[in-house]
Amino acid sequence: MKRHYFVLLVTLLVFEVKVSGQTDLQQAFRECGIKGSTTIYDYKNQKWIYSDSLDAQKLSLPASTFKIINLLIALETKVIRDENEVVKWVGKTDTTLYGYRPEIYKDMTVREAFEVSAGWVFIELAKKIGRKNYAKYLKACRYGNVDLSEKGADFWNFGRFGISPQNQVAFMKAVYEEKLPFSKRNYGILKEVMFVEKTNDYTIRAKTGWTRDGGIDSGWWVGYVESRENTYFFATRIAKKRTEQNPNFGQCRKTITKTILKQIKAI
């Protein structure tokens, strides 16, 4: 059933694609010395924009971008009351995932955990949410391949669970329109927590992600930018071998995205 469901999902997503002529949207990746893609949906004109249409369809682990749907599920299942609920530090460190960030080893609110991407907080929430609830909501939201075979609690960082950039964008559009099985209150909390940047011309709501599974660094920046005239949904994914040195890898997720958004005059 899972395989049939996923094939249907991919078919539906590909059917919606509207190809658009583009300037050189790969230039930003070359300047960062990194491989990857940016996928964008122009809401007003109902148009998909790709730097690499093939990569836009490929699945990979969502890493911390999964916190977007994870927060909604935690709220909807009442595992947490709101974003200000404090999660107590578990008192043990998984150095394979968190050893390089000692500042996150403390009690913190779910809001703070989202903002600083403290993975251990959402792992504790995942243990309470349970796989049955995840399967229910992931299917209802058409989010990823719903492969929950990974035994570890953080199946979004390791294992066979996967989502494509185009699927990420389609999900963000559905969140924006509030067409998924979550309450209006919970959408409001998520959108507030996702706030990243505001200028006189636009507002960005987004989440980064970075995982290191299989000897590969995989980085994301997923969200949307609103202006008075339009809304653009985006998913940028970059990747490199862990043995390759690129000190700008983390920053490149945002740099590339903003460069392309400027190229298409979204910001």
Query: What is the pLDDT at residue 93?
Result: 63
Structurally, the chain folds into a number of domains equal to: 1
64 an active-site residue?
yes
pLDDT at site 5: 41
Instruction: Give the span between the Cα atoms of 17 and 206, in whole angstroms.
Output: 23
Rounded-to-integer distance, Cα 185 and Cα 212, Å = 34
123: Cβ contacts below 8 Å, ≥ 6 apart: 153, 154
pLDDT at 91: 86
Query: 200 lies in which domain range?
Result: 2-263
Which of 37, 60, 64, 218 is an active site residue? 64
How far apart, in whole angstroms, are the C-alpha atoms of residue 129 and residue 188? 21
State the amino acid at position 237 in one-letter form: R
pLDDT of residue 102: 84
- Per-residue confidence of the chain (267 residues) as pLDDT tens digits? 444 444 444 434 443 343 444 479 999 999 999 999 999 999 999 999 999 999 999 999 999 999 999 999 999 999 999 999 999 998 876 655 544 688 898 999 999 999 999 999 999 999 999 999 999 999 999 999 999 999 999 999 999 999 999 999 999 999 999 999 999 999 999 999 999 999 999 999 999 999 999 999 999 999 999 999 999 999 999 999 999 999 999 999 999 999 999 999 999
CATH of the domain at 242: 3.40.710.10
